[in-house]
Amino acid sequence: MAGNIRLKICDDAAQVAIEAAAMFDELIRANPDSVIGLATGSTPEATYAEIARRHKEDGLSLAGVSSFNLDEYWGLGGDHDQSYRYFMQDNLFRHVDILPFNTHVLNGKARFPQLECEGFENRILAAGGIDMWLLGIGGNGHIAFNEPGSGVDSRTRLVSLTQETIDANSDGRFFSDASEVPRCALSAGIGTIRESRRLVLLATGAKKADAIAAAVDGPFSEDCPASLLQDHPDCTFIVDRDAASKLSN
Ligand code: F6R
């Protein structure tokens, strides 16, 4: 059951990035004060490069935009090269004209995690909610760091990572050894994500095929956190042919 999920199947990862960047480009040009949600990981890197290119070459300005990131490793400060704050600076923020104080990434070194998470939720509310949130998906169907079993109404909180996620993030792309990967993270909840007015989930490569099939064709179930987007009124999955290869039709 695909619910309301709109599927865009692209020839390759490069096309996925162009489609995703085009959606953010359109949103931001229509409303320069847009509030956008962002993700980290390998998948959105090419999308951020394309948004940066559009800023440099096509006059796309993010000067009025506010951003909120999905998650951050618990225990890593923003100056750590594996923190998600660092990732965002490196892949997007330093290449565009977004104002630093308009970029919101959870503080992985906050003294009181619960206060940090409540503050994050309050800042989203104060900004008027998220217009469009970019998501990736884990091989086990996780969105942000909401691992299988996360509740549909879950909010931003301190969570534990599964061994599968720790292993996926220590395959050399990010951390080189599983022992270096933090065991916990601060993560927007599924309820937090579902409140975004629009959602855009990206997936590329055969490693994501099972998760995409479960999210789109499987039951609405906490076993596959991304399936909990099926009843969202405006959710688009942009996937390449490999990630789409296990879909039923
Ligand atoms: C990152 C995040 C994660 C990733 C997911 C896929 O902010 O929220 O859910 O989107 O782990 O990661 P990649 O793109 O590296 O396969």
222, burial (CB in 10 Å: exposed 0-12, middle 13-18, buried 19+):
middle
Tell me how far the alpha carbon of residue 171 lies from the centroid of ligand 1, in angstroms.
Answer: 13
CATH number, span 6-240? 3.40.50.1360
Is any ligand 1 atom within 6 A of the Cβ of residue 144?
yes
pLDDT band at 59 (very low <50, low <70, confident <90, very high): very high
- Domain ranges in the chain are 6-240
List the one residue out of 31, 122, 71 whose CA is nearest residue 225.
Answer: 71
Tell me how far the alpha carbon of residue 135 lies from the centroid of ligand 1, in angstroms.
Answer: 7
The rounded percent of the chain whose pLDDT value lies above 90 is: 95
pTM, 2 dp: 0.98
How high is the mean pLDDT of the chain?
Answer: 97
Residues marked as catalytic: 71, 140, 142, 147
Let me know: does 183 contact 156? Beta carbons within 8 Å: no
Cα three-residue angle 47-107-158, rounded to 5 degrees: 95
Is any ligand 1 atom within 6 A of the Cβ of residue 39?
yes
What single-letter amino acid sits at 164?
E
Q: Write the pLDDT tens digit of every residue in 89-104.
A: 999 999 999 999 999 9
Q: Write the pLDDT tens digit of every residue in 175-218.
A: 989 999 999 999 999 999 999 999 999 999 999 999 999 999 99
Let me know: does 98 contact 67? Beta carbons within 8 Å: yes
pLDDT band at 2 (very low <50, low <70, confident <90, very high): low
